[in-house]
Amino acid sequence: LKQVFNKDKTFRPKRKFEPGTQRFELYKQAQASLNSGVDLKAAVQLPRGEDQNDWVAVHVVDFFNRINLIYGTICEFCTEKTCPVMSGGPKYEYRWQDDVKYKKPTALPAPQYMNLLMDWIEVQINNEHLFPTNVGKCKKEVP
């Protein structure tokens, strides 16, 4: 057991965030949601009498906003020089295709890929046919 718990190899002190920083505030929010005792399964269940498409739309927009916030905290560290490829580890490379400017899957630096992706998602979310702003008007099928 001494080898397993060797503090020089496996133990890492808990990372602390500087109070007053954006990361500290995000950390506090994450801890509050994790320690709130909320039943996540119950939290995502469709409320009685609500339209499933409206419920999904609300969560898609919320998820986009959260991802955008998280990306905003790391984007300054990922430049075209430091992140020349959009990848999911050594085995996966993501390529961009939008059938407008990029007609074929195209390798791009991670920041450029992410900017295009976030812009594309925002266009989808703002599309009234996909995400109507009037409750109860979500289409069941994407045109």
Name the more confident of 77 and 50: 77
Neighbours of 135 (CB within 10 A): 11
- pLDDT for 15 equals 53
Helices (DSSP H) in the chain: which residue ranges? 22-34, 40-44, 52-74, 110-125
- Residue whose token pair is 């009498």: 49
Which parts are annotated binding residues for Zn(2+)?
Answer: 78, 83
User: 4 near 10, Cβ under 8 Å?
Assistant: yes
- pLDDT for 33 equals 66
Give the pLDDT band of residue 10 (cuts 50, 70, 90): very low
Q: With 0.75 as the threshold, say if the pTM is over it.
A: no
Which parts are annotated binding residues?
Answer: 78, 83
